[in-house]
Amino acid sequence: MATIAINLKDGKLETDAPRDLIVGIDLGTTNSLVAYMKDGLALAVRDDSGKSALMPSVVHFAPDQSVLVGVTAKEKLVSDPQHTIYSVKRLMGKSYKDVRDFEQYFGYQIIDEDTDSLVKIRVKDKFFTPIELSAEILKALKLRIESVLNQPVFKAVITVPAYFNDAQRQATRDAGKLAGLDVLRIVNEPTAASLAYGIGLNQDDEQTVAVYDLGGGTFDISILHIHQGIFEVLSTHGDTFLGGDDFDRAIVDYWTKQNGHEKDSLTGDKSLSQALRLQAEAAKKHLSQHPVYESVAANGMVCRIDRATFETLIEPLVQRTIEGCRQALHDAKLDVSRIDHVIMVGGSTRVPLVKSAVAGFFGKEVFDKLDPDEVVALGAAIQADILAGNQKDILLLDITPLSLGIETMGGLMDTIIPRNTKVPSKAGRRYTTSVDGQTNLKIAVFQGERDLVEHNRKLGEFIMRGIPPMPAGLPKIEIHFILNADGILKVKAQELRSGVEQEIEVRSQYGISEEEMGKMLLDSIQHAQSDMAIRALLEARNEAQVILLSADKFLRQNESILNETEVLAIQTLAAELKIAVAGEDKDKINAAMETLNQYSAPLAHRAMDITIAEAIKGKSV
Ligand code: AMP
C-alpha cells in the first residue's frame, strides 16, 4: 500500500518519488572528490578500499589508448611521466604564456606553438585540452558515485576558487558537460567550506568568516560575510602557485643539496625527479605526526629530514600565506578582530606549522574538525541539496573581482559592471553610431581597471550587424551585460529603433592568475593620474571629431544660405581645430572647439529658421 504524506506546514501532499539526485564535486588541483546527502548528512564517497574519498586528479594514457584516472594513474607518475597528467586545474583557461615559467614542473609536454591561445597537452601524437582532461576526472567521479548508489547521476554542483574568472568557470562547466553532467551551479570553494560547517544555514546567523585554503598547488584566503542566508565574498587573495607541492619541492631541493648534487640537477631525469617528489610528499605527511623521516631513494640517495628543518624550509612559504591573509583583511577593510571564525581547507592545513601560524595570526582557534580534504565537497553536496529543493532556499552572492566594460571611441574603457559588484548582476548602457549610415558596430569587451582598453584584458568581441542606415547619432543601441551567478558574462546588444538584436556569451581567450589580477589593480592605481590626463585628451579629440563631421555636413547642406566669408571662416576654424586635434594639448582642442561652436551657432540658427519658414511656406495653401 502506498503511503501518502501531508506536509503539516503548507498542507501539500508529498510524494515519495525520489527527487533528482544532485551531487557535489570538488574538482581539485591535487585531488578531487564527490559527495552527496544521505539521511540529511553530507557524505564523501570513498574508493573501493573504503579508506579514502580522495581521487588523485591524475590522468594516465596507457599504450593501448585506454585512460586511467586516480590512484592507478598517480602510480604511473614515476614509471611513465610523459603520459601522465597532473595539476591540470592550474592550466584551466590558461595560455602557454601564463604557465611557461612553471613548465619545468610538469612532467608532461605542454604545447607552445601559439603562445596566445589556450594551452594543450601533448600525449604521444594526440593533443588534449585541460577541459578534456578534467572531464576524464569528472567521469571517474561520476562512475564512482553511480556504482556506490546504484543509480545514474546526471546533475552536479562543481566548486571553483572564488577568484576564478569567467573563462576558468566556463572551462569547468564545459568539462562537466563533456563528462555527461549537467552543471547546475558553479560554487565558490570558500562558500562550500562554510556551508559544510553549517555556517549560514540559519537565516538569523550573521558572521564574518575567513576561509584559509592551502591545497597541493594553490593558496586562497577568502573573507566572507554571511547574513540571512546570503554569502558575500568581501575579498579574496591568494597565489595560484603556492601549496603543498612547494613544500615537497623544498624537501627535494634539500635532499639534493644534502647528497652533494646541484639544485635542479636531477630534473632532467623525469622518472627520478617524480620518484623523489612522491617520497618528499610521504616525508611531509609523516612529519605532520612524527619528528623525523628517513628512507633511501631508488638511486641510493639518503632521504632524511626532521620536523624542525622542514619548518625552517617552509617558513617563508607559510609567511607568504599570512601576508595574503593580511592583504585580504585590508581589502575587506576589516580588522582581524572582526573575524568570527577561521575555517581550514586543503590537505596542507594538516601541517602543524600552518595551523599554528594561522591561529596565531587570527588570534583564535581554527575550525579543523572536518577533514580538510573533504570539507569543500561536503559543502558542495549541501549546496546541491539546497538546489534540489530539499532545504530552504539560500541565496549565494559573490563579487566580480575586476570591472567589465566595452571599448568606446579612441580606445577608452567604458565600465558597465564595476569591480566588486555582487553577482548575479545586470547592467546596461545606451550607445549610438559615430558615422552616417553606419550599419555595423564592433563591440569589444574588456576586463580591468585602467582607462584605456589597451591596458586591460580583452575578453572577446563581436560585430553587431544589420543596423538600418541612419544619420550618425540616431540609432539607439543598448548594450546589456548579464553576469550570472557563476560569474559568466553574457553580452546583449539591441538597436531599439529597428529591434535588431545580437547576443554572445563571452569567453576570454585565456585566464587571469591571481597575481596578474593583483597587478592589474595595482597598475590602475599607479597610473590613475596619467590615465586621467590621457582620458581627457582622448575625450576632447572624440568630441572634436564629432564637431568636425557636423561642421562639414553643415557646410554641404547649407551652401545656398551661407555667404563666401562665412564659408571661409568655418573652413578656417575647422582647419585650426584639426591642427589642435593632431596635437597633445586638450586645452587647445577645447578652445578651438569653443571658437568654432561660437561662430557657427548663430549660422545654424539662421539655417534652421529658413528651413522652418520654407516648410511652413510649402504647407500653406
Ligand atoms: P588538496 O589539493 O586540498 O587535495 O591538498 C593536497 C595537499 O595536501 C598535498 O600537497 C598533500 O601532500 C597535502 N597533504 C595531505 N595530507 C597531509 C598531511 N598529513 N600533512 C601534510 N600535508 C598533507
Using the Cα atoms of residue 98, residue 102, residue 108 and residue 111 in order, give the sign of their dihedral. Answer: positive
Q: Reply yes or no on whether 89 is catalytic.
A: yes
Residue type, 484: N
Nearest residue (by CA) to ligand 1, atom 8, is: 347
Ligand 1 pocket by Cβ (under 6 Å): 28-31, 215-216, 243-245, 281, 284-285, 288, 346-348, 350-351, 373
Angstrom distance (rounded) from CA 158 to CA 137: 12
- Whole-number CA gyration radius for the chain: 30
C-alpha 34 – ligand 1 centre gap (Å) = 17
Model confidence band, residue 6 (pLDDT cutoffs 50, 70, 90): very low
Instruction: Find the mean pLDDT for residues 189-211.
Output: 90
Q: Reply yes or no on whether 189 is catalytic.
A: yes
* Domains in the chain: boundaries: 5-197+374-387, 202-369, 404-517, 529-615
**Residue 596: which residues within 8 A CB-CB, separation 6 or more?**
547, 551, 570, 573, 574, 576, 577
| Lowest model confidence (mean pLDDT) among 353-367, 532-546, 564-578 | 532-546
Q: Is 63 exposed, middle or buried (CB count within 10 Å of its CB: 0-12, 13-18, 19+)?
A: exposed
Angstrom distance (rounded) from CA 114 to CA 287: 43
Q: Are 239 and 339 in contact (CB under 8 A)?
A: no
Q: Reply yes or no on whether 490 is catalytic.
A: no
Q: What is the pLDDT of residue 537?
A: 85
Model confidence band, residue 510 (pLDDT cutoffs 50, 70, 90): very low
C-alpha 217 – ligand 1 centre gap (Å) = 10
Instruction: Name the fold adopted by 202-369.
Output: Nucleotidyltransferase; domain 5 (3.30.420)
C-alpha 284 – ligand 1 centre gap (Å) = 9
| Lowest model confidence (mean pLDDT) among 208-212, 279-283, 409-413, 521-525 | 521-525
Helix or strand (DSSP H, E) at 142: helix 130-149
**Residue 597: which residues within 8 A CB-CB, separation 6 or more?**
547
Domains 5-197+374-387 and 202-369 share a fold: yes
pLDDT for residue 508 is more than 60: no
Helix axes 352-362, 307-331, angle to 10 degrees: 30
pTM of the shown model:
0.64
Which residue among 89, 189, 285, 354 has the greatest number of ligand 1 atoms within 8 angstroms of its CB, and so is best to mutate? 285
Nearest residue (by CA) to ligand 1, atom 22, is: 348
β-bridge pairing 489-495 and 501-505: antiparallel
Q: Reply yes or no on whether 98 is catalytic.
A: no
Which residue among 348, 354, 356, 378 has the greatest number of ligand 1 atoms within 8 angstroms of its CB, and so is best to mutate? 348
Q: What is the pLDDT of residue 374?
A: 97
Atom of ligand 1 minimally distant from the CA of 217: 2
Angstrom distance (rounded) from CA 552 to CA 330: 54
Nearest residue (by CA) to ligand 1, atom 20, is: 285
Q: Is 115 exposed, middle or buried (CB count within 10 Å of its CB: 0-12, 13-18, 19+)?
A: exposed
CATH architecture of the domain 404-517 equals: Sandwich (2.60)
**Domain 5-197+374-387: assigned CATH number:** 3.30.420.40
C-alpha 52 – ligand 1 centre gap (Å) = 13
CATH architecture of the domain 529-615 equals: Up-down Bundle (1.20)
Atom of ligand 1 minimally distant from the CA of 247: 10
pLDDT for residue 59 is more than 60: yes
Q: Please identify which of the residues 76, 89, 270, 355 carries the catalytic annotation.
A: 89
pLDDT tens figures, 401-429: 678 999 988 889 999 998 877 777 888 88
pLDDT for residue 8 is more than 50: no
Q: Is 70 exposed, middle or buried (CB count within 10 Å of its CB: 0-12, 13-18, 19+)?
A: buried
Angstrom distance (rounded) from CA 103 to CA 265: 16
